[in-house]
């Protein structure tokens, strides 16, 4: 039954994407996008990441804070976080982050990446149990957690975003970064980001 629902969700999402393909670009920042930095910053970085991806965790744990200090907090970069879940744990992690207030979402997101090995599991029941323990420590109630993790509309929204990224930029791996419209696949360290950003700023 769950497989059928997932297939229906994917088909539904694909139909939505095809219907709106001519109208939207993934470069457009949407109302439900989560980002940090100045709205009118000269450089926009869109990250496509999977919450279960170890390379994505490496970026968030090792590089993001430096990038934030040097370029995001100084008004040079707007950094947009987009979900690209490859499996159930990643989907569950992405969904639960959508159900926390925006003012704490950044901290929760980085917290989940730091604790990735404790909650990303092939056993879906264990994934949900461990994920709830983390969210409960921040004050989330069981009813709210269950409602979020079973929200079909939210699942469809995330799958639609994956389809759009695949359609327009052929994104197939994480993390992937679109920097002012140019795709850079794979994890990047702070030196590589500096080279890309400084080159754009000098133009």
CATH numbers and ranges of domains, the chain: 2-202 (3.40.30.10)
Q: pLDDT (tens digit, 9 = 90+) per residue, 35-50?
A: 999 999 999 999 999 9
Return the pLDDT at 24: 81
The β-bridge relationship of strands 77-83 and 34-36 is antiparallel
Q: Say which residue, 4 or 178, is predicted with more confidence.
A: 178
Q: Say which residue, 32 or 151, is predicted with more confidence.
A: 151
On whether the CB atoms of residues 116 and 54 are closer than 8 A, the answer is yes
Q: pLDDT (tens digit, 9 = 90+) per residue, 142-167?
A: 999 999 999 999 999 999 999 999 99
Q: Is the pLDDT of residue 18 over 70?
A: no
Sheet holding 182-185, edge to edge: 34-36, 77-83, 43-49, 176-179, 182-185
pTM (predicted TM-score): 0.87
On whether the CB atoms of residues 81 and 29 are closer than 8 A, the answer is no
Task: Work out the mean pLDDT of the chain and round it to a whole number.
Answer: 91
Q: How many CB atoms lie within 10 A of CB 54?
A: 13
Q: If 0-12 CB within 10 Å is exposed, 13-18 middle and 19+ buried, where does residue 31 land? A: exposed
The tokens for 167 are 């359609």
């Amino acid at each position: 039954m769950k497989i059928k629902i997932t297939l229906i969700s994917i088909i539904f999402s694909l139909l939505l994407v095809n219907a709106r393909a001519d109208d939207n670009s993934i470069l457009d920042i949407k109302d439900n996008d989560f980002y940090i930095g100045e709205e009118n910053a000269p450089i926009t970085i869109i990250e496509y990441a999977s919450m279960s991806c170890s390379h994505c965790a490496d970026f968030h744990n090792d590089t993001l804070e430096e990038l934030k200090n040097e370029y995001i907090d100084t008004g040079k970069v707007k950094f947009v976080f987009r979900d690209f879940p490859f499996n159930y744990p990643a989907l569950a992690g992405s969904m639960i982050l959508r159900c926390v207030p925006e003012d704490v979402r950044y901290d929760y997101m980085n917290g989940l990446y730091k604790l990735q090995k404790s909650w990303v599991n092939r056993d879906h029941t264990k994934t949900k149990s461990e994920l709830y323990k983390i969210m409960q420590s921040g004050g989330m109630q069981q009813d709210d957690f269950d409602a979020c993790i079973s929200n079909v509309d939210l699942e469809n929204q995330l799958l639609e975003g994956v389809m759009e990224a695949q359609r327009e930029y052929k994104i197939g791996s994480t993390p992937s970064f679109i920097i002012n419209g140019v795709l850079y696949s794979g994890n990047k360290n702070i030196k590589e980001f500096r080279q890309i950003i400084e080159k754009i700023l000098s133009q």
